[in-house]
Amino acid sequence: MATNVVIILAFLLFPALVIWLCAKFPFLNKIGIVLLCYIVGMIVGNIGILPSSFDNVQSLMQDVSVSIALPLLLFSLDVKKWIKMSSTALFCMLLAIIAIIITTFALQLTIGSNAQDGWKLAGMSVAVYTGGTPNLAAIKSALQVSNATYILFNTYDTVFSLIYIFFMASVARIFFQKVFKLKPYKFLDRKEGTVASDISDESIEAYFKMFKPSILKGLLLAFFVSATILAIAVVLGSLFPKNFSTAITILLITSLGIASSFIRPIRRIKYSFQFGMYIIYLFCFTVASMTKLSVLIHINWDILLYVLFSILGSVLLHALMCKWFKIDSDTMIVTSVSAMCSPPFVPVVVNGLKNKDVLIGGLVTGIIGYAIGNYLAIAVAMLYRVLFA
């Protein structure tokens, strides 16, 4: 018991250590907090230092962390304001969503028909490629995906997503402009004195600001509200039949998180988004520590190909639709990244593009992906279950 408590504390503090190291050593910051959490987590989980008694604790930390983080990521979303500022990015996000739905439908007719519970693979694909890892974790619980399938899916997704991010941050602009004839981004005149919301601040310094006494008070309130949302969702979800209770709970957490963003005092809590991301880093480290690298030795081709073609097919289809609707390359790229990999990866790609104008749109659409990904994933999975199962 005492050993588990010490390990839990180590897990809770590990993201802070990574953040500090990234601030201290720029080359680590270039790798990124998320990737470092995954890498170290996989090492920790595969060198035999975690006791077998910690397995259940890992599962609990995984479920609770993502459930607490989701509302925190949504609190700072000013729906009316960002819709006005990011109309093109929002429409581009819609195209990305349509692309992954069409892609999974095609996959259900092919690969999914051979895979066990192929409809669950579709739900996970829609979840992760509209909202990122937080939604994938939520859908794991909502659709009662087995740990084995989830770990395989998440492992393959991690590998292919890293390749995808490298491509998007390097040669993607040239590729999409040359091959798909997407138009270049048209830079607008910047207004002097414009101050970005802290929602757009994904810098390392933003995480250090969370520890200021004046900020901590607000974050404690945000944590209390998020925990209350989780408690309400669990209680209400338990009132439904067992087969639906988990899905209802996840949807309630998402809905109450969005509803809370309309309450001005909650929406104005500073750095609630970064606080949510800190917990997501904890989630990434925890999930990675549950990943067994031995699964890469014996490849599950159905899941591997489903993940590969979900990424490849949806990105190419998204680019094709952006060409039809005359959306520029930079908006397409950053929106694709926000949908496929979630907001933490947006600044990495924006830095590669040397175009900070698209940062806000990428972050906003990514957060909206967090909000709607759960709804879409559950709806698509249940539809495919009826049509294909």
Q: What are the DSSP calls for 335-389, one per residue?
A: HHHHHHH-GGGHHHHHHHHT-GGGHHHHHHHHHHHHHHHHHHHHHHHHHHHHHH-
Residue 76, domain member (yes or no) = yes
Distance CA 345, CA 67 (A): 21
Q: Is 191 exposed, middle or buried (0-12, 13-18, 19+ CB in 10 A)?
A: exposed
Mean of the pLDDT values across residues 292-296? Answer: 70
Q: Which two tokens stand for residue 14?
A: 């590990």
Mean of the pLDDT values across residues 258-268? Answer: 87
Q: What is the mean pLDDT of the chain?
A: 84
Residue 71, domain member (yes or no) = yes
Please say if the pLDDT value at position 143 is more than 80.
yes
Residue 148, domain member (yes or no) = yes
Residue 191, domain member (yes or no) = no
Q: What is the pLDDT of residues 96-135, one digit of tens each?
A: 999 999 999 999 988 876 777 788 999 999 999 997 776 7
What is the 3-state secondary structure of 123-161? HHHHHHHHHCHHHHHHHHHHCCCCHHHHHHHHHHHHHHH
Residue 312, domain member (yes or no) = yes
- Give the count of domains, the chain: 1
Are 274 and 201 a contacting pair, CB within 8 Å? Answer: yes
Give the rounded percent of residues in the chain with a pLDDT score beyond 90. 30
Residue with tokens 């997704």: 157
DSSP designation for 235: H
Please give the pLDDT value at position 195: 39
Residue 203, domain member (yes or no) = no
pLDDT band at residue 305 using 50, 70 and 90 as cut-offs: very high
Please give the pLDDT value at position 177: 95
Identity of residue 222: A
Task: Find, among 290, 333, 297, 6, the residue nearest to 137 by Cα.
Answer: 290
Q: How many CB atoms lie within 10 A of CB 289?
A: 25
Q: Which residue has the higher pLDDT, 377 or 364?
A: 377
Distance CA 253, CA 65 (A): 13
How far CA 141 is from CA of 18, 55, 299, 352, in Å, comes to 28, 17, 24, 35
Please give the pLDDT value at position 21: 92
DSSP designation for 116: T
Assign residue 179 the CATH number of its domain: 1.20.1530
Are 384 and 119 a contacting pair, CB within 8 Å? Answer: yes
Please give the pLDDT value at position 80: 66
Residue 70, domain member (yes or no) = yes
Please give the pLDDT value at position 245: 72
Residue 192, domain member (yes or no) = no
Q: Where are the alpha helices (DSSP H) in 47-192?
A: 55-75, 79-85, 87-109, 118-131, 133-142, 147-170, 172-179
- How far from the centroid of its chain's Cα atoms is residue 233's Cα? 21
Please say if the pLDDT value at position 200 is more than 60.
no
Range of the domain at 6: 2-185+210-388
Mean of the pLDDT values across residues 154-169? Answer: 84
pLDDT band at residue 199 using 50, 70 and 90 as cut-offs: low
Task: Find, among 25, 5, 32, 278, the residue nearest to 162 by Cα.
Answer: 32
Q: What is the pLDDT of residues 176-198, one digit of tens each?
A: 999 999 999 876 554 433 334 45
Are 172 and 333 a contacting pair, CB within 8 Å? Answer: yes
Please give the pLDDT value at position 145: 86
Distance CA 24, CA 22 (A): 5
Q: What is the pLDDT of residues 204-255, one digit of tens each?
A: 777 888 888 888 989 999 999 999 999 999 999 888 876 567 767 877 887 8
